[in-house]
Amino acid sequence: MSKTIFVLNGPNLNMLGKREPGIYGGKTLADIEADCKVAGAELGLTIDFRQSNHEGDLVSWLHEAADKAVGVAINAGAYTHTSVALHDAIRAISPIPVIEVHISNVHAREEFRHKSMIAPACKGVICGFGPQSYILALQALKTITQ
């Protein structure tokens, strides 16, 4: 049976394609979802792909992942840098592995993006590879959940 991975996206990621294309590229979130589903099929993973601009939705979806998924890739957007609630939710669903994902290299940007509230609770972090960061996270989740 195919394993389910939740791919969760936080605030403003619904604006990809229009939003700062010099930083985030021209792909829309729907394009990234389609790429994740193709990669997931190749890896034998079922991809449940979601986006919300609301922190509480992301918290609830992490809780839901504990029952329905073997792993999570999360691009928490700006909540990465602020959210104790997401840190706690990721710890609460341990041992489900959660990988922090970013399209841009947050360490090469403004100083306020250098701090991640969620990274200490995550299995690992992938950033800076454009939309390919999502695919790398799926490959990592496939490997660590075998």
Q: Is 24 a catalytic residue?
A: yes
Q: Given the complex with ligand DQA, which of 103 and 140 has the nearer CB atom?
A: 103
Core vs surface per residue 110-134: b (16+ CB within 10 A) or e: eeebeebbbeebbbebbbebbbebb
Q: Given the complex with ligand DQA, which of 78 and 119 has the nearer CB atom?
A: 78
Both tokens of residue 93?
Answer: 């669903």
Q: Work out how close the CB of 122 gets to ligand DQA at its nearest, in angstroms, rounded to a whole number.
A: 13
Q: Facing residues of 99 across strands?
A: 73, 124
Locate all alpha helices (DSSP H) within 1-146, ordered by sequence: 21-24, 29-43, 55-68, 84-92, 132-144
Other Cβ atoms closer than 10 A to 15: 14
SS3 for 98?
Answer: strand
- Contacts with ligand DQA by CB under 6 A lie at 12, 75, 77-78, 80, 102-104, 106, 113
Rounded Cα gap, residues 55 and 11, in angstroms: 8
Q: What is the DSSP letter of 27?
A: -
Q: Work out how close the CB of 94 gets to ligand DQA at its nearest, in angstroms, rounded to a whole number.
A: 22
**Which residues carry out catalysis?**
24, 102
